[in-house]
Amino acid sequence: MHDYAVLSSETVYQGRVIDLRRDIVAMPGATTSQRDVVVHPGAVAVVALDGDRVLLVTQYRHPVGRRLDELPAGLLDVDGEPALLAAQRELVEEAGYQAATWHVLVDMLTSPGMTDESIRVYLARDVSPCEREVQEHEELEMTCRWVPLADAVTSALAGELENAAALVGVLAAAEAERRGFEGLRPPEAHWRARPAAAPGPPS
């Protein structure tokens, strides 16, 4: 198989969250091609289940100019913070809940043709309310509610649930529930795209 070697690489933009990198890549047929890559720190999201109900938050998203139903989620933007701790923190901060049982539900590459962004979606069960953290910016108007998981699946298939992590998480949770939650990975499972955030259990 061809080795897609990076012949040159340059960061052309540095933003608050993302960077833009321009790579020149060796292509099959002795040619090269420019690939513009959005460099992203990665993120976590949480499917919190309470019986047959799933927790959704609603938040304004500026790039699309409207509010979206989503999962509690956040960036991996705290140096050295393990992905599981980030997920637990986001569930508290955004929704005011904690959970006793955690598993990895799915890992997803959101758009691998243009970005290295990866999101780990956790399944959180045995949830209980706790004190919610002080919010800022769009989160000041964030709301959360419990909805039947079956209704969330219907919303996904109807095009009403559009956030990618929420779509994947809700559909995966419904399948995991159908399987009796068998075969899920432990919360510290290795994360191929972000090994530093989830290096796996010590040997």
Hey, which residues are catalytic here?
139
**Spatial contact of 107 and 192, defined as CB atoms under 8 Å apart:** yes
Strand order in the sheet with 31-39: 6-14, 19-27, 31-39
Q: Are 103 and 177 in contact (CB under 8 A)?
A: no
Q: From residue 190, how far is each of 32, 48, 173 by CA, in Å?
A: 33, 21, 20
State the DSSP string of 3-61: ---EEEEEEEEE-SS-EEEEEEEEETTTEEEEEEEEE---EEEEEEEETTEEEEEEEEE
